[in-house]
Amino acid sequence: MNRDASLKNHLIMKNITPGGVSSPVRAFDPSPIYVDSGKGCRIKDIDGNEYVDLCMSYGPLILGHSHPSVIYAMERQMKKGSVFGAPSIPELELISEISKRVPCAEMVRLVNSGTEAVMHTIRLARGFTGKKGIIKMNGGFHGSSDPVLSDNSQTTLKKGITACTASDTYVAEYNSPEQIESMIEKNDIAAVLMEPVLGNVGVIPPEKDYLQKVRNITKKEGVLLIFDEVITGFRLAPGGAQEMYNVTPDLCTMGKIMGGGLPAGAFAGRKDIMSLLRPEGPVVQTGTFSGNPMTAAAGLAALKEMTNERYRQLNNATEELTHSMTDSLHDHDMTASVNRVGSMFQVFFKVDKVTNAPCAQKCNEKMYMDLFRRMLDSGIYMPPAALEANFTCTEHGRPEIQKIAEEFGKNLRCIA
Ligand SMILES: Cc1ncc(COP(=O)(O)O)c(C=O)c1O
Nearest C-alpha neighbor of 201 from the set 116, 256, 142: 142
- Strand, coil or helix: 66: coil
- Of ligand 1's listed atoms, the one at least distance from the Cα of 264 is 10
Burial grade of 344 (CB within 10 A; 0-12, 13-18, 19 or more): buried
In a 13 Å sphere around the CA of 339, the CA atoms on its Cβ side amount to 28
Task: Read off the CATH number of the domain in which 236 is found.
Answer: 3.40.640.10
Give yes or no: residues 117 and 264 share one domain: yes
Give yes or no: residues 316 and 406 share one domain: yes
Could you say which of 279, 305, 331 is where a domain stops?
305
CA distance 319 to 329: 15
Q: Are 82 and 90 contacting, i.e. CB atoms less than 8 angstroms apart?
A: no
Task: Read off the CATH number of the domain in which 15 is found.
Answer: 3.90.1150.10
Query: Hey, whose CA ends up nearest to atom 4 of ligand 1?
Result: 142
DSSP string computed for 264-283: -EEEEE-HHHHTTBTTTSSB
The CA 114 to ligand 1 mean position distance, Å, reads 5
- Measure CA of the first residue to CA of the last residue in the chain; give whole Å: 22
Give yes or no: residues 149 and 290 share one domain: yes
Nearest C-alpha neighbor of 157 from the set 362, 297, 149: 149
- Strand, coil or helix: 294: helix
Range 64-86 burial, b when 16+ CB lie within 10 A, else e: bbebeebeebbeebeeeeeeeee
Per-residue pLDDT of the chain (416 residues; tens, 9 = 90+): 999 999 999 999 999 999 999 999 999 999 999 999 999 999 999 999 999 999 999 999 999 999 999 999 999 999 999 999 999 999 999 999 999 999 999 999 999 999 999 999 999 999 999 999 999 999 999 999 999 999 998 666 678 999 999 999 999 999 999 999 999 999 999 999 999 999 999 999 999 999 999 999 999 999 999 999 999 999 999 999 999 999 999 999 999 999 999 999 999 999 999 999 999 999 999 999 999 999 999 999 999 999 999 999 999 999 999 999 999 999 999 999 999 999 999 999 999 999 999 999 999 999 999 999 999 999 999 999 999 999 999 999 999 999 999 999 999 999 86
- Pocket test residue of 256, 257, 262, 289 for ligand 1, highest count of atoms within 8 A of CB: 256
The CA 48 to ligand 1 mean position distance, Å, reads 30
Give yes or no: residues 58 and 72 share one domain: no
Could you say which of 275, 305, 335 is where a domain stops?
305
Query: Hey, whose CA ends up nearest to atom 7 of ligand 1?
Result: 114
- Domain total in the chain: 2
Q: Maximum CA pair distance of the chain?
A: 61
Query: 113 in ligand 1 pocket by Cβ < 6 Å?
Result: yes
- Pocket test residue of 61, 115, 387 for ligand 1, highest count of atoms within 8 A of CB: 115
Boundaries of domain holding 350? 4-62+307-415
Give yes or no: residues 203 and 100 share one domain: yes
Q: Are 34 and 46 contacting, i.e. CB atoms less than 8 angstroms apart?
A: yes
Give yes or no: residues 268 and 332 share one domain: no
Give yes or no: residues 56 and 123 share one domain: no
Give yes or no: residues 139 and 227 share one domain: yes
Query: What element of type H or E holds 182?
Result: helix 177-186
Query: 228 in ligand 1 pocket by Cβ < 6 Å?
Result: yes
Could you say which of 270, 305, 340 is where a domain stops?
305
Give yes or no: residues 171 and 315 share one domain: no
Give yes or no: residues 276 and 374 share one domain: no
